[in-house]
Amino acid sequence: MKTINLKSVAFTSLILFLALSISGMFRSSEKLANVQISGVITDQSNAPIAGASILAVGTNIGTLSTADGSYTISVPENTKKLKFFFLGFKTQEVKINGRKVINVQLENEPAMVEEIIITTDDERVEDAVYSREEMKKEKGKSVASYSPTISNSTSGVAYDMQPIDYNTEEYDVINENKFKGVKLNPLSTFSIDVDRASYSNVRRFLNSSQKPHKDVVRIEELINYFDYDYPQPKGDDPFSTNLEMGVCPWNKDHYLLNIGIQGKEIEPEKIPASNLVFLLDVSGSMEAENKLPLLKKSFKILIEKLRPEDRVAIVVYAGAAGLVLPATSGKDKEKINAAFDQLSAGGSTAGGAGIELAYKIAQENFIKDGNNRVILATDGDFNVGQSSDGELVRMIEEKRKSNVFLTILGFGMGNYKDSKMEQLSNAGNGNYAYIDNILEAKKTLGKEIWGTLFTIAKDVKIQIEFNPAKVKAYRLIGYENRLLAAEDFNDDKKDAGEIGAGHTVTALYEIIPASSDEKIDGVDELEYQDTKINKSDNLMTLKLRYKQPDGDESKLITSRINGENIKADKLSENFRFSASVAQFGMLLRDSEFKGTATFGNTLELAKAAKGKDDDGYRAEFIKLIEVAELLSK
């Protein structure tokens, strides 16, 4: 028996177990008709409470409030009460009495736990979320599997926590990019990325008062969640390329290079007709309120945007795959919505069969010079038929030859398979988003729908050659899963990322100048080669390749940056805000390169560069920094 004393631990530890208990037990044990209840949870000053827990008393059904304090829960019709609780507030039980809207104001209650003692027979208490590699080593373990007793050493109050379902979320391990010496590694090559799933997933963790596991945090996806004010393209190319360089905020001896790409904006009425196949996971794992019910509401936002010339088919899969709605005109919104309303969750998950059928339907209804796309919505938990990552990736790679693009929308928690969905979207000329609440659905499937669905350039690659006379070493921030070999840049058979209409893409490099005395990791001097350095004032040359959406040959764009482009001040809001997001990501990952970064100076940087924020996304980011700072203490 081993006892672990966690002195001066806030009541957060208790609420973490409670939240995990709820997130692992979203399945109803009774087959009664359900009623839907919604509302808003606030504190005594009427401020919304994010991440509060709502439990249907007498069942194992629960949910969490979103960033604006709102919640929606579907409970059996015989449920009498709802329980509301959150760290630092008194728990409330409220009678339903036939109401469909229940708003709750929680009263403050000082945290009473000064010392928490966790008693366990195991060597250590694990984090609740595992990277894929850790799950292989620690298979079957989670915080919940220990069934610990948490006791208050001063008040004598004990909370006997019962075991809950294992948390089986999966994330690929991210090995952070390190500095590379320019003399031996002058070229840096990667595929651009407009995926944004990591940001909303990180937000889900923080809003649930949990610090995300470091492999949840893909910094480039955090940066690219936000739009930036780059100029529209003026020539024949479908996007503009913008370079800006200044002093690095977290290391004043280094520079930071901002590469900004702005996709051409296209009016919705000028976008070609769309042939869309909605591929929906309706297996038993999708039963929770934040899965299939949220999926239905989310897709109805998209349906409102459809035009008469657009066509939609619906394929579903559980134990098997089937066609629910044949290709239907976007003007028949009632018919499409009715098909969604009849969906319910149950059975195993034959994702591979669903993918096969969806692509078949898309190809049968293919629109020449149109927008042909499969939209897969799932928690990623495939377990019947073709289900291994390798099998599914090879299938998607074969299907992309048909010029049918792929969008993946992730839902839910507890068994969420982020690693699988990221790989599939990368393989399928696709993009990937995570829908944690209805506001994110409005952003992804409402505000940004045509950029999400309509590709203006595919297989977009960037290659930078650094000048060793000016640059000693460099480090690409993020994009670890998008790195390419140098020779892949000129290989038109090599798949890369896509840019949608109006999308922005941002990449950051941290640069050590050649004049620096800083030592970097490297190898011994080469015995048989002598590198000659050409004299040039340029710091670097940027090359970019892309193809037209239906093209097979790439086009090359080249630009350069020199010392005169380095700014000591008057850095743009684009530069400063993207730097604040990168800094935030490094703090969440506890990066060895975070330098002088703190949540405090990250907050200052983000506030100063907030700029125009009509939709409030940057304001929300600022609040997430504050939440992360509190959790870090």
Kindly tell me the sign of the dihedral angle through the C-alpha atoms of 18, 622, 503, 328. Answer: positive
Residue 141 sits at the vertex; the CA angle it makes with 138 and 144, to the nearest 5 degrees, is 160
> For residue 436, what are its two tokens?
């944690």
| Mean pLDDT score across all residues of the chain | 82
Over residues 67-90, the pLDDT tens digits come to: 778 888 888 889 999 998 876 678
Whether residues 326 and 362 fall in one domain: yes
Whether residues 542 and 600 fall in one domain: yes
Domain that holds residue 112: 1-168
Sheet holding 81-85, edge to edge: 62-64, 53-56, 81-85, 92-95
Residue 105 counted as domain residue = yes
Residue 2 counted as domain residue = yes
Q: What is the CATH number of the domain that holds 323?
A: 3.40.50.410
DSSP state of 466: E
Whether residues 229 and 273 fall in one domain: no
Whether the per-residue pLDDT at 94 is higher than 80: the answer is yes
Whether residues 569 and 622 fall in one domain: yes
Residue 529 counted as domain residue = no
Helix, strand, or coil (residue 270): helix
* 260 Rama class: left (phi>0) / alpha (psi -120 to 50) / beta: beta
Pair 27, 141: CB distance under 8 Å = no
Q: What is the CATH number of the domain that holds 57?
A: 2.60.40.1120
Q: Which residues contact 125 (CB under 8 A, 6 or more apart)?
A: 4, 118, 143, 146, 148
Q: Which pLDDT score, from 0 to 100, does residue 157 have?
A: 31
Whether residues 154 and 193 fall in one domain: no
Whether the per-residue pLDDT at 11 is higher than 60: the answer is no
Final residue of a structural domain among 135, 168, 201: 168
Pairing of strands 504-513, 2-7: unpaired
More confident position, 398 or 351? 398
Closest CA to 584 of 531, 519, 632, 534: 632
Over residues 545-591, the pLDDT tens digits come to: 999 988 889 999 998 888 776 776 789 999 999 999 999 999 999 99
CA 249, distance to chain mean position in Å, is 25
User: DSSP characters for 26-83?
Assistant: ---SS-PPEEEEEEEEE-TTS-B-TT-EEEETTSS-EEE--TTSEEEEEEETT--EEE
Whether residues 23 and 133 fall in one domain: yes
Whether the per-residue pLDDT at 419 is higher than 60: the answer is yes
As a whole number of angstroms, the longest Cα–Cα distance in the chain is 84
Over residues 375-394, the pLDDT tens digits come to: 999 987 765 455 566 777 88
Over residues 23-35, the pLDDT tens digits come to: 444 443 345 678 8
pTM (global) more than 0.85: no
Domain count, the chain: 3
Q: Which pLDDT score, from 0 to 100, does residue 202 have?
A: 95
Whether residues 134 and 1 fall in one domain: yes
Residue 438 counted as domain residue = no
Q: Which pLDDT score, from 0 to 100, does residue 87 have?
A: 65
Q: Which pLDDT score, from 0 to 100, does residue 233 have?
A: 92
Whether residues 218 and 70 fall in one domain: no
Q: How many CA atoms, within 13 angstroms, populate the side-chain half-sphere of residue 96?
A: 22
Q: Which pLDDT score, from 0 to 100, does residue 268 have?
A: 84
Whether residues 162 and 184 fall in one domain: no
Residue 448 counted as domain residue = no
Final residue of a structural domain among 418, 433, 448: 433
Whether residues 195 and 247 fall in one domain: yes
Using 50, 70 and 90 to split pLDDT, how confident is the model at 311?
very high
Whether residues 387 and 479 fall in one domain: no
Over residues 189-234, the pLDDT tens digits come to: 999 978 899 999 999 999 988 899 999 999 999 999 999 999 999 8
Whether residues 589 and 549 fall in one domain: yes
Whether the per-residue pLDDT at 147 is higher than 60: the answer is no
Q: What is the CATH number of the domain that holds 504?
A: 2.60.40.1230
Residue 526 counted as domain residue = no
Final residue of a structural domain among 433, 467, 489: 433
DSSP state of 551: -
Closest CA to 375 of 448, 458, 312, 307: 312
Q: Which pLDDT score, from 0 to 100, does residue 455 have?
A: 87
